[in-house]
Structure 1
């Protein structure tokens, strides 16, 4: 699956504030038959990011 939709996170830091940039797979795969799966993966990744940023 990652061959079709690799997941990349970019972390930047400025003035003590970290920002996470994440290419949302559901947007990249807007017309894909697997879009629902990408939406689920995306939701899980975002939940992990939010948890880690606390």
Structure 2
């Protein structure tokens, strides 16, 4: 199963996060209560970030 933006947004809401940072070559990062938290997802591909 491939990661989708819907998966990331569900987790964002579930963690009460305010920001989602996505960049090719890195795992998604969420800002939770002012702190940047790396998710457990693998690094994103160029295809997923464009």
TM-score tier, shorter chain, comes to under 0.3
Q: TM-score, normalised by structure 2?
A: 0.28
More helix by percentage: 1
